[in-house]
Structure 1
C-alpha cells in the first residue's frame, strides 16, 4: 500500500489595498520549466487558489513532524512567474507604468518581516532628508510604519514625516516599490554603450549565502577593443537563472537572467529558496522535517492615491464633504477637487454633496477607469475625474 500524505511546504499570498477584502485576484502564477522538474523530482504539488499559491510535499506520515520522502536540499530554488490579467492594474496601483524589459522580483531572501508577516518584497527604505521624494514615494519611519509622500521634498527643502501636507501614514505593512524592479536580460545579449568605448570592464555579483547579500563575485573580465565600440556581445549564459548585480565600465544595475521570459509577458518573478539562513528561507527544519506552521509569504500592493476632481453638470457651486472627516475638498465650487490625494478603493467612501441647500449622499467615488493629470503647486498628480449629474 502506498502511503500518500501531503504536508504544507509554503504558501504565497497576493494582497492589494485597493480591494476591500485586500485579496488580489489580478495574477496567474505559473512555475518555470525548471521548477516543474524540481517539483516533480521532490513529489511537490503547487496550485493557485484565488490569490494564493499553495505548495504541498509528499511526506512520511508515520514520522512526527513529517519529513518529505524526497529530501529538500539546501539551496533548492522554486521559481514562479506572475502574469498580469487585469489591464487596469496600474491605474489603481501605486507603481509606475509597465516598461519593456522591466520586471519585479520577489524572494524570501529579502528577509523582510513586519506586522506579523513575511514579505517577499524588499524592505522599504527609511526616510532620509538627503533624498528627493515625489508624490507616491514610500518610506519607513524606522519603527515599522510606512508613509506615502503626498508632496515633493528635496535636500534644502525637506519636510519630515510629521508634516501632514507632505506625508500620509499608510500602516505597518511592507509594500512593493520600484526598488523591487529589475532589468530583464537574456543570457546572451548585445550590450549598448551610451558612447563608443575603447574597452569594457565587466563585473557580476551574485548572492552570497554566508553574508546573505549580493556580494559574491561570479564573473569579472576586461576586454580591449581594436577600435572604439558602441556595443559588445555580453555572454552570461553560464550563470544560473536569477538576480545579479551587473557593473559595466563603472555603471551598476540590478538584472534578472532567465531565458524563459523571452516570449512571455511576465510582470514579476517569485523565487523561493531553501537556505540555512536567514530564517525566512527555512522551508524545513534542521532535521529535514516540515516546519509547523509552514512558511507563509506575502506580496502586498498599495493602492494609488489620486486627486479627486468632481465636475457638477449644473455648473453651480456646491460643497463636498467626507462624513468620516478624513479627506477635504476645495469648497464651494462647480469643479471641486480634493485638497490632498485620496487612495483609490473598491470600497466606497461616504461622501456628501450639498447643492442649493439640498444634501445628496452617497455620491459616486473615483474609479480606475479614467485617469488624467493635474498640477498643484510644483507637483503633478494623477487625477480622477468624476462627473455628477446635479
Structure 2
C-alpha cells in the first residue's frame, strides 16, 4: 500500500527571507484523529507545513472513501515564542479569541489558495486605521500606514498606503471567539427575557442556518449576559442568536484551543469551492496546497544619539526610508517600516564633532544597525497608535 498527499497547508511569513513562517506545530482535534483513522489518512508537521497523506493502491484515488460530508480540523501553533513580536497579527492569549481558517473562503490570489478570506475592496469613502489591509481593483494588497478619515484616502498615495502586491494576509478580521461547553453570551441591550437560537453548518449550502436548539429564560431584572450549555453538540462553528443579535462561536469540547493560536478546518463537502476540493470529479487526487500568509510587523524606526554630533539619519537609496528629527538627538522614520530577518544595509548617519562647528568635516557612517522586534514598544504619533522600534547610537 502506497501513500499520496491528500492536501498540504503552508504558513508563509513576510518577515523571513525565504518566506516561510518557521516551524509550525499542527495538532489534529480528537474528532479529526478518528476521522483520519477511518479514512486511512496520516498527518505530519514539517517545518512550516502540514502534510496529510492518504493510502492508495493505484496512485490516483484514495484507497478508502473520505467522509462525505466531513471535516478535518487541526490546531496550529508556532514553535517560536517570539512569533507575535515580529507579526502583524494581534493575539491576546488570555482571551477566547483565536484565528480561524478554512477551505470555505474561496480566496485564490495569484495562484495561491488562501484559507483566509480576501481583503475588502478599497473604498475612498471609508475611514481606515494603521495596519488595515485592503484590495485594489487590480487585486493588489495595500496596507494602511496612517489613520485616515472618511473621504481622505488615495491608494496611490505612498504616504498613506504601502503596496504589497498580489498577496493576501491573515489579520484580525479572521479572529473568532472559541469556547468550551459553557458559552457566556452577551445580551445587548440588557433584558429580563432572553431568547436563544443556535444554528449549525448546513452541509449543502455551507451556511450556518440549521437550527440545532432554541431556549428561553425570564428573569426578575434585566441581565447583560447568558450562560449557554453547548455540551450536547458536536464541535464546530455555530451562529448563536441572542434576542435577534447574532454571535459566532467555535465550540471545542477538548479545550485544546487555549494552547494554540488558531484552528484550520478542511471540509470534504461537495459544495466546497472547486479550487479547494480535495478530489476531482472522478474521485482522483487533486493534492491542493492551501496557504496562510502573515505580514511582518511595521513599527516606526527610531535612532537616539548620545551627542549632538549626529546631525541626521538617512537612507542612501532614492525614495527610501525618510527620517525626521522629533526631539534632540532623536531621529524617527516618518512612516512605519516592516521588520525583516535580513537586515537592511542602506541606512547611514551624518557625524560631525568639530569644535567650533565646521560643515566641511562631516563624516558619513554607513550600514547602521537596524531596529529589531525585541526593541519594540507602543507609542503615539499624531494621535495614532504605533509601535516604535528603537536603536541607541554610541555617538
TM-score (norm 1): 0.90
Deviation track 1:236-258 (CA, whole Å, cap 9, x = no partner) reads 33433222322212333222111
1:74 and 1:318 mapped to 2: Cα distance? 68
Correspondences of 1:311-330 after superposition (within 5 Å): 311-325=304-318, 326-330=320-324
Aligned to 2:155: 161
CA apart distance, 1:28:
1.3
Give ranges in structure 1 of 5+ residues lacking alignment: none
Equivalent position to 1:365, from 336, 351, 370? 370
Distance 1:13 1:7, change over 3 A: same
CA apart distance, 1:215:
4.4
CA apart distance, 1:166:
1.5
Conserved? CA contact 1:122–1:179, under 8 Å: no
Equivalent position to 1:353, from 349, 353, 364? 349
Deviation track 1:43-95 (CA, whole Å, cap 9, x = no partner) reads 1111011111111111012xxx6221111132221110012333322221112
Deviation track 1:331-355 (CA, whole Å, cap 9, x = no partner) reads 6962110011100111111212221
1:163 and 1:128 mapped to 2: Cα distance? 14
Conserved? CA contact 1:310–1:386, under 8 Å: yes
Distance 1:194 1:276, change over 3 A: closer
Equivalent position to 2:197, from 195, 203, 218? 203
CA apart distance, 1:211:
3.5
Whether 1:270 and 2:270 are equivalent positions in the alignment is no
Equivalent position to 2:302, from 309, 317, 322? 309
Conserved? CA contact 2:302–2:333, under 8 Å: yes
1:367 and 1:111 mapped to 2: Cα distance? 35
Equivalent position to 2:242, from 231, 238, 248? 248
Q: Secondary structure, in 3 states, of the residue corresponding to 2:254?
A: helix
1:311 and 1:209 mapped to 2: Cα distance? 58
Conserved? CA contact 1:275–1:281, under 8 Å: no
2:380 and 2:226 mapped to 1: Cα distance? 43
CA apart distance, 1:226:
4.5
Conserved? CA contact 1:318–1:353, under 8 Å: yes
Comparing 312-321 and 282-291, the one that deviates more: 312-321
CA apart distance, 1:153:
1.5
Whether 1:11 and 2:4 are equivalent positions in the alignment is no
Conserved? CA contact 2:257–2:263, under 8 Å: no
Equivalent position to 1:375, from 377, 380, 392? 380
What is the aligned length? Answer: 380
CA apart distance, 1:195:
6.6
Correspondences of 1:273-284 after superposition (within 5 Å): 273-277=267-271, 278-284=273-279
Aligned to 1:187: 181
Correspondences of 1:333-344 after superposition (within 5 Å): 334-344=329-339
Correspondences of 1:5-84 after superposition (within 5 Å): 5-61=2-58, 66-84=60-78
1:47 and 1:270 mapped to 2: Cα distance? 14
TM-score (norm 2): 0.89
Distance 1:328 1:179, change over 3 A: same
Aligned to 1:286: 281
Distance 1:115 1:281, change over 3 A: closer
Equivalent position to 2:123, from 124, 128, 144? 128
Deviation track 1:282-326 (CA, whole Å, cap 9, x = no partner) reads 1112222212xx100010000111100101123433222223332
Aligned to 2:142: 147
CA apart distance, 1:146:
0.6
Comparing 35-44 and 225-234, the one that deviates more: 225-234
CA apart distance, 1:130:
4.2
Conserved? CA contact 1:108–1:280, under 8 Å: no
Conserved? CA contact 1:246–1:254, under 8 Å: yes
2:7 and 2:87 mapped to 1: Cα distance? 26
Conserved? CA contact 1:32–1:79, under 8 Å: yes
Q: Secondary structure, in 3 states, of the residue corresponding to 1:373?
A: strand
Comparing 335-344 and 243-252, the one that deviates more: 243-252
CA apart distance, 1:13:
0.5
Aligned to 1:225: 218
Aligned to 1:385: 390
Deviation track 1:130-159 (CA, whole Å, cap 9, x = no partner) reads 43311111111133111111111133x521
CA apart distance, 1:229:
5.2
2:251 and 2:259 mapped to 1: Cα distance? 15
